[in-house]
Amino acid sequence: MRTDYGNYINGEWVEAASGQTLTSINPATHSEVVGTFARSGAPDVDRAVTAARNAFRQWMLTPAPERADYVLRAGLLLEERKEEIAHVMTREMGKTLKESRGDIQEAIDFAHYMVGEGRRLFGETIPSELRNKFQMTLRHPIGVVGLITPWNFPIAIPTWKGFAALVAGCTVVFKPGEDVPLCASVLTELFDEVGLPPGVWNTVHGLGEEAGAALVDHPGVAGISFTGSLDVGRMINERGGRQMKRVSLELGSKNAQIVMPDADLDLAVEGAAWGAFATSGQRCTATSRLIVHDDIREEFTERLLERVATMKVGNGLEPDVELAPVINEKQKNRILEYIAIGQAEGAKLLCGGDELTGDEYDDGFFVAPAVFTEVSPDMRIAQEEIFGPVTGIISISSIDEAVEVANSTEYGLSCSIYTHDITNVFRFAQEVEFGLAYVNAPTIGAEVSVPFGGMKNTGNGHREAGPTSLDFFTEWKTVAIDFSGKLQKAQIDKQSEV
């Protein structure tokens, strides 16, 4: 498979204007270079935006079912090459092969979902207050959109954004996470292979502060859809706001799993282990807080530690590995720093939390899964996003306290509760300040047919996937057709004219 890529602009692969490149490495074996890619700047972004603007009118005028057909064909290629692309993802991003296959399956599922939306790009017909007048609403694509995506779901997140943008009639400039340019290039090749018209999809590799910033600031971009950190999201929102640019933000999180005394403990433990440590905790929906009732806390903790002790850490290509490496050295050091912060704050580290060494680990970025207890809700490890294999147990004594603790952070993406008490279920559903609320299920595992997004500082109100996926990429247009043959005045006191 090819491992050196430039940018994909106007249907062609081209070098960065500066000639500079960046490399992608395998986080499990960081001496292995996965590939070499363009390091882009403002001139490259401008070239891509120009191509997208030139392609926009014809793409907008392409019937929506035809636009959706390109998405379906890309999804079918993903399905056909799932295993091959999963190996690429595991080598570049690090997650286990099972998780890589799941990442790609999300994209496949969303392609099938969005092809239907191409025939459901519905508006409404609305009765007029006047005679012989017809009113309806239409969706109109907003124009060129910039998609800035992270490294943790290198196929799923770009397709969640990109498939919806294409079906809506927008043209795209895609700036992928700088740690996963090969995955982005493989995805881009699929769009090229299905014959997407030149300029409709453009991929520009590079660093966030260079290519990403140029994309946000470009006056030819109508909207930015960004998934990443709260700090970067705030900057994008400020810069986009000054330009009256539409901005969709999916940002940080501090997700919680509540465990009540009547819970199925085996299920709750498995949900906690999977929710906290899948993808080595590098998910925006990872369970970084376990809010456990005092009556079952000791038993829950004991069972959780037994489960975590069985979780093998290693190269994601190995079939029995459950925790793969973290993405890079910077993230590894951040995780270790937070573990030290937790200990300094007085939380008790029950297991893990150290950098793994030895022949199997020395050439990668590996951290043993960490479980804290004696965590109070105001500790930094209970308030700040760590984005690694770290979780903490917080004791509570009632459903009131559980909800209060769950809601006590600035974030609100995903929360779950394990209980069979119907009162707890409905109190939870009504009161938690999270965009995703699960009962007897982990905080991870969103499905493509429902809206995805969070409350509070997790985002700015937009949702991805599901029936709302087209909302960000379209404007509502009201069309009124008067066939009365005379001037009719709406919003006038008609009775006075009788």
Distance CA(465)–CA(486), nearest Å, equals 45
Domain co-membership, 394 together with 370: yes
User: Which candidate, 320, 263, 351, 249, places its Cα nearest to that of 96?
Assistant: 320
User: What is the pLDDT at residue 3?
Assistant: 79
Distance CA(327)–CA(282), nearest Å, equals 8
Is residue 351 part of the annotated active site? The answer reads: no
Domain co-membership, 236 together with 320: no
DSSP class per residue in 454-471: -EETTBSS--BSGGGTTT
Query: Which secondary-structure segment (H or E) carries 98?
Result: helix 97-117
> What is the sign of the dihedral through the CA atoms of 134, 135, 137 and 140?
positive
Distance CA(450)–CA(469), nearest Å, equals 9
Distance CA(438)–CA(419), nearest Å, equals 11
Instruction: For residue 12, give the DSSP letter.
Output: E
**Long-range contacts of 94-97, Cβ-Cβ distance < 8 Å, separation of 24 or more:** 94/26, 94/27, 94/28, 94/280, 94/316, 94/324, 94/325, 94/326, 94/327, 94/365, 95/152, 95/279, 95/280, 95/282, 95/316, 95/324, 96/316, 96/321, 96/322, 96/324, 97/316, 97/317, 97/319
User: What is the pLDDT at residue 491?
Assistant: 76
Please give the residue range of the domain that contains residue 331.
Answer: 255-439
Domain co-membership, 404 together with 358: yes
Distance CA(224)–CA(144), nearest Å, equals 9
Domain co-membership, 125 together with 272: no
Domain co-membership, 279 together with 409: yes
The predicted-structure confidence for 170-216, as pLDDT tens digits, reads as follows 999 999 999 999 999 999 999 999 999 999 999 999 999 999 999 99
Residue 309: count of CB within 10 angstroms of its CB? 10
498 in a domain, yes or no? no
**Rounded to the nearest 10 degrees, how much is the dihedral formed by the CA atoms of 165, 170, 175, 179?**
20
Q: How many structural domains does the chain have?
A: 2
The residues facing 172 across adjacent strands are 145, 201
Q: Give the three-state DSSP class for 288.
A: strand
107 in a domain, yes or no? yes
Distance CA(253)–CA(386), nearest Å, equals 9
Which one from 178, 284, 415, 464 is the annotated catalytic residue?
284
495 in a domain, yes or no? no
Which one from 99, 178, 210, 250 is the annotated catalytic residue?
250
Q: 443 near 415, Cβ under 8 Å? A: yes
What does the chain come to in residues?
498
Class of residue 479 by CB neighbours under 10 A (exposed 0-12, middle 13-18, buried 19+): exposed
Domain co-membership, 233 together with 192: yes
361 in a domain, yes or no? yes
User: What is the pLDDT at residue 443?
Assistant: 98
* CATH number assigned to the domain comprising residue 220: 3.40.605.10
> What residues contact 259, with CB distance under 8 A and at least 6 apart?
265, 268, 272, 290, 291, 292, 293, 296, 300, 417, 418
The predicted-structure confidence for 346-359, as pLDDT tens digits, reads as follows 999 999 999 999 99
Domain co-membership, 421 together with 470: no
Domain co-membership, 299 together with 387: yes
Is residue 284 part of the annotated active site? The answer reads: yes
96 conformational bin, left if phi > 0, alpha if psi -120 to 50, beta if neither: beta
pLDDT in tens, the chain (498 residues): 787 899 999 999 999 999 999 999 999 999 999 999 999 999 999 999 999 999 999 999 999 999 999 999 999 999 999 999 999 999 999 999 999 999 999 999 999 999 999 999 999 999 999 999 999 999 999 999 999 999 999 999 999 999 999 999 999 999 999 999 999 999 999 999 999 999 999 999 999 999 999 999 999 999 999 999 999 999 999 999 999 999 999 999 999 999 999 999 999 999 999 999 999 999 999 999 999 999 999 999 999 999 999 999 999 999 999 999 999 999 999 999 999 999 999 999 999 999 999 999 999 999 999 999 999 999 999 999 999 999 999 999 999 999 999 999 999 999 999 999 999 999 999 999 999 999 999 999 999 999 999 999 999 999 999 999 999 999 999 999 999 999 998 877 655 554
423 in a domain, yes or no? yes
The residues facing 476 across adjacent strands are 139
Q: Give the three-state DSSP class for 268.
A: helix
The residues facing 449 across adjacent strands are none
> What residues contact 454, with CB distance under 8 A and at least 6 apart?
250, 251, 253, 411, 412, 413, 414, 434, 435, 436
Q: Which residue has the tokens 């907008």?
A: 60
Query: Which secondary-structure segment (H or E) carries 93?
Result: helix 82-93
Q: 43 near 10, Cβ under 8 Å? A: no
Query: Which secondary-structure segment (H or E) carries 474?
Result: strand 474-482
485 in a domain, yes or no? no
Domain co-membership, 208 together with 265: no
Kindly state the tokens that stand for 24: 């992608």
User: What is the pLDDT at residue 2?
Assistant: 82
Domain co-membership, 275 together with 242: no
Distance CA(164)–CA(158), nearest Å, equals 10
Domain co-membership, 72 together with 206: yes
181 in a domain, yes or no? yes
* CATH number assigned to the domain comprising residue 290: 3.40.309.10
**CA of 398: how far to CAs of 173, 378, 424, 429, 488, in Å?**
49, 18, 10, 16, 63
Domain co-membership, 185 together with 271: no
450 in a domain, yes or no? no
Q: Which residue has the tokens 């910077």?
A: 330
Q: What angle do CA 431, 435, 436 make, to 5 degrees?
A: 90
User: Which candidate, 375, 365, 387, places its Cα nearest to that of 287?
Assistant: 387
